């Protein structure tokens, strides 16, 4: 029996909602709302019901609308990237500081103030597309420049070195790092036998091993991490002179990471933490910025440097070759559709422009092949450059034609070259002056499966990196090795890793062995080349020693309740705003709290949904009654105890004492009681980010 329709009012200019005979809701077109159509443009009358024989009969095969809709849905997933599957992309602009025509003919570096559109994708390496953001992992840092002479991609990481020296080992590395194939886990983790078995048998990976066990692999945010081009490239000027270059991205806000326990809890509370952070920063107008820097050196330096500049497991310390700032990258626009842009973007190391060229780094050479090859599988055919996010934003002309999903084809008679058709009919022609030219490097030698002699030094720079870290960071590296290797079930694998660590730092090896409960120390692994033990530490390699100078860009979490001192809260918010930091209120309920002056505020987070791991520092401003209430709430106590354990700066009102006591907090210099005028001093103290002196007191093992 039919039912009377019931109409619901629609918003002005958006059509009206109307219920059908079975109660389903139909949204009709009207005003500015377009008519719903099939992919062929046919208007749809009913998108709620498939075509049937009678009310309860079978569905009809002739229902082309259902077929069209389901056909597309069934095929709307493309294969995820084998590596860097978990990513987030945003748009930006790069502004050049000055003309660099003396070192490169690349068009974007010819004029001071030149602005170039960019697209940047940050990512993790090992995890699948649905893995959490705070996995301990390398972060991809890929930048595309849409230049006037084509797309240039710097496809790098947030670490300046890599695991392997030759691309032929890349499939083995990724297979070992991913889920073990017989069981399909662990996901987005390297704490398992396969990965460390591979690493223990690859001495060349030991430099990277120390980096990935450092805080570099658990960054606080994309906004607070460095980026590197990893490889040595060439810049070539108009006269054909070549200069070697390494690319660096330096965050204007400084460096910052989280601690391991914090990362674990963030993954549970907000697996999209990095994505959300970048999205909110751009939406708030706090545009993230990086300076692009060049490390420039010539052939003479390369020959004299004690390591091979073509070895991707090595870096050049900034103390030896300073980084020259050449321009600023500003990320200022989020994507309109995640799939359309972020998922379909196809970065390639082989995308270079005139004035930029490759070197013979064997890892780079292999990447140049692999990145292009993989697009055929992911994006369905050779025409992936027709997708807007991949299309150059400069004039394009060639004779490539046809293939899956061709959006453009040559016009006119000519689809080959050379041809004798003149003018526009003949199509595009080469330009010997403007066209890309490879640097004419002289090469000779036998065809051999071998590497350069200096590639065989696997421990010296690993040792240099470790000794360049602060004591706090060295402890974190030790703890990370112990955690990862404690998940390895095979004792021989653990022993081989410790044997490698003995060549890096004996104290580190001893502490890792002790943390694992090893009864005997293994013999040190035999190095292929003697370890250089007198390399000077490079302070630029430390996060703690290169932290921010202010609290700008960070977030302060403030616990409030009914009766919170309105003046104290206002003073704290004003101090944070002046420093360029965000304040987020956390309360017993999100519906609102009434402050001491009778005003009301709505917390952004409920206390059991807004833990302190979401914030860089915290303030506890409950009223006396509010503190008594929260001291009986487990998650409120966790808020305080976690902030304390993670060495965060904590401000509190006098009324918060009960909450501090219940959380078991022992006061130190990183815990500040706020009085009138004290908020500004507290925010200034927060510029240090952590009260690291506390860590030794809260971690006994």
Count of beta carbons in the 10 Å neighbourhood of residue 622 = 30
3-state secondary structure 465-525: HHHCCCHHHHHHHHHHHHHHHHCCCCHHHHHHHHHHHCCCCHHHHHHHHHHHCCCCCCCCC
Distance CA 208, CA 499 (A): 16
Name the helix (H) or strand (E) containing 555.
Answer: strand 555-559
DSSP letter for each residue of 402-435: -STT-S----SS--SSS----GGGG-----TTTS
Both structure tokens of 456: 């065989």
Catalytic-labelled residue, pool 91, 96, 151, 157 = 157
Q: Tokens 């000519």 correspond to what residue?
A: 414
Strands (E), 324-466: 324-334, 356-357
Contact 48, 28 (CB under 8 A): no
In this structure, the dihedral spanned by the alpha carbons of residues 158, 162, 163 and 168, taken in order and rounded to 10 degrees, is 130
Both structure tokens of 23: 């109660």
DSSP helix/strand/coil, 327: strand
Reported as half-sphere exposure (CB side, CA atoms, 13 A), residue 697 has a value of: 14
Catalytic-labelled residue, pool 65, 84, 207, 646 = 84
Name the helix (H) or strand (E) containing 574.
Answer: helix 566-578
Closest CA to 554 of 687, 397, 382, 374: 687
652 catalytic residue (yes or no): no
End-to-end CA distance of the chain: 72
Distance CA 433, CA 260 (A): 54
Both structure tokens of 267: 């993954």
Distance CA 331, CA 339 (A): 19
91 catalytic residue (yes or no): no
Strands (E), 60-184: 87-96, 115-124, 139-147, 150-157
* Cα-only R_g, the chain: 29
Contact 37, 44 (CB under 8 A): yes
Cα 288 vs. chain centroid, distance in angstroms? 13
Alpha-carbon separation of residue 166 from 160, 220, 449 (angstroms): 16, 31, 10
Closest CA to 135 of 191, 193, 208: 191
Alpha-carbon separation of residue 107 from 56, 388, 506 (angstroms): 67, 22, 50
Distance CA 436, CA 518 (A): 58
Contact 356, 106 (CB under 8 A): yes
Cis peptide leading into residue 186 (ω within 30°): yes
Count of beta carbons in the 10 Å neighbourhood of residue 279 = 15
Distance CA 373, CA 385 (A): 13
Distance CA 75, CA 69 (A): 10
Tell how strand 17-19 and strand 25-27 pair up.
antiparallel
Distance CA 693, CA 114 (A): 46
Query: For 76, which DSSP code?
Result: -
Count of beta carbons in the 10 Å neighbourhood of residue 442 = 4
Name the helix (H) or strand (E) containing 294.
Answer: strand 289-297
Contact 647, 688 (CB under 8 A): no
Contact 560, 569 (CB under 8 A): yes
> So which residues are the catalytic ones?
84, 157
């Amino acid at each position: 029996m039919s039912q009377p329709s019931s109409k619901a009012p629609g918003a002005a200019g958006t059509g009206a909602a109307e219920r059908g005979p079975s109660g389903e809701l139909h949204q009709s077109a009207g005003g500015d709302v377009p008519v719903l159509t099939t992919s062929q443009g046919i208007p749809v009358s009913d998108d709620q019901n498939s075509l049937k024989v009678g009310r309860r009969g079978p569905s009809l095969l002739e229902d082309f609308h259902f077929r069209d809709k389901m056909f597309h849905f069934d095929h709307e997933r493309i294969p995820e990237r084998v590596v860097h599957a978990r990513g987030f992309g945003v748009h930006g602009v790069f502004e050049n500081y000055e003309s660099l025509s003396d070192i490169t003919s690349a068009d974007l570096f010819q004029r001071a103030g030149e602005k170039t559109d960019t697209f940047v994708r940050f990512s993790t390496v090992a995890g699948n597309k649905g893995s959490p953001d705070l996995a301990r992992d390398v972060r991809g840092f890929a930048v595309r420049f849409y230049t006037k002479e084509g797309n240039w991609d710097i496809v790098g990481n947030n670490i300046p070195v890599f695991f392997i020296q030759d691309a032929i080992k890349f499939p083995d590395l990724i297979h070992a790092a991913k889920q073990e194939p017989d069981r399909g886990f662990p996901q987005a983790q390297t704490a398992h036998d396969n990965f460390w078995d591979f690493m223990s048998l690859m001495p060349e990976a030991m430099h990277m091993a120390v980096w990935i066990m450092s805080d570099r692999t658990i960054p606080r945010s994309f906004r607070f991490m460095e980026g590197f081009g990893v490889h040595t490239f060439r810049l070539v000027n108009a006269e054909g002179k070549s200069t070697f270059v390494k690319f660096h991205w330096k965050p204007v806000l400084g460096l910052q990471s989280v601690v391991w326990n914090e990362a674990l809890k963030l993954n549970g509370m907000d697996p999209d933490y990095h994505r959300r952070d970048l999205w909110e920063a751009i939406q708030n107008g706090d545009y993230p910025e990086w300076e692009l820097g060049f490390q420039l050196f010539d052939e003479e330096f390369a020959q004299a440097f004690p390591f091979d500049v073509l070895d991707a497991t090595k870096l050049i310390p900034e103390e030896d070759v300073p980084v020259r700032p050449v321009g600023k990258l500003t990320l200022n626009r989020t994507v309109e559709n995640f799939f359309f842009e972020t998922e379909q973007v196809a970065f390639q190391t082989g995308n270079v422009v005139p004035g930029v060229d490759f070197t013979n780094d064997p890892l780079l050479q292999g990447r140049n092949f692999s990145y292009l090859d993989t697009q055929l599988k992911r994006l369905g055919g050779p025409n992936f450059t027709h997708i807007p996010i991949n299309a150059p934003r400069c004039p394009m002309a060639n004779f490539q034609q046809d293939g899956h999903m061709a959006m453009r084809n040559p016009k006119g008679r000519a689809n080959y070259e050379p041809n004798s058709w003149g003018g526009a009919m003949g199509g595009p022609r080469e330009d010997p002056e403007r066209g890309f030219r490879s640097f004419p490097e002289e090469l000779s030698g036998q065809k051999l499966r071998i590497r350069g002699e200096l590639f065989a030094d696997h421990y010296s720079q690993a040792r240099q990196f470790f000794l360049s870290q602060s004591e706090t960071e060295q402890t974190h590296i030790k703890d990370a090795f112990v955690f990862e290797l404690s998940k390895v079930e095979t004792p021989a694998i653990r022993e081989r890793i410790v044997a490698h660590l003995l060549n890096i730092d004996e104290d580190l090896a001893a502490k890792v062995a002790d943390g694992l409960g090893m009864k005997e120390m293994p013999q040190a692994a035999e190095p292929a080349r003697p370890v250089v033990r007198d390399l000077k530490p490079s302070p630029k390699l430390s996060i703690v020693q290169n932290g921010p100078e202010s609290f700008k860009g960070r977030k302060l979490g403030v616990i409030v309740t009914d009766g919170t001192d309105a003046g104290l809260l206002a003073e704290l918010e004003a101090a944070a705003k002046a420093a360029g930091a965000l304040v987020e209120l956390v309360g017993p309920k999100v519906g609102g709290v009434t402050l001491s002056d009778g005003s009301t505020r709505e917390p952004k987070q409920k206390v059991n949904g807004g833990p302190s791991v979401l914030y860089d520092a915290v303030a506890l401003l409950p009223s006396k009654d509010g503190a008594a209430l929260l001291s009986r709430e487990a998650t409120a106590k966790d808020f305080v105890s976690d902030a304390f354990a993670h060495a965060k700066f904590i401000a509190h009102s006098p009324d918060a004492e009960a909450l501090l006591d219940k959380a078991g907090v022992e006061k130190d210099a990183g815990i500040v009681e706020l009085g009138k005028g004290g908020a500004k001093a507290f925010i200034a103290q927060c510029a240090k980010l952590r009260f690291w002196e506390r860590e030794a007191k809260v971690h006994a093992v």
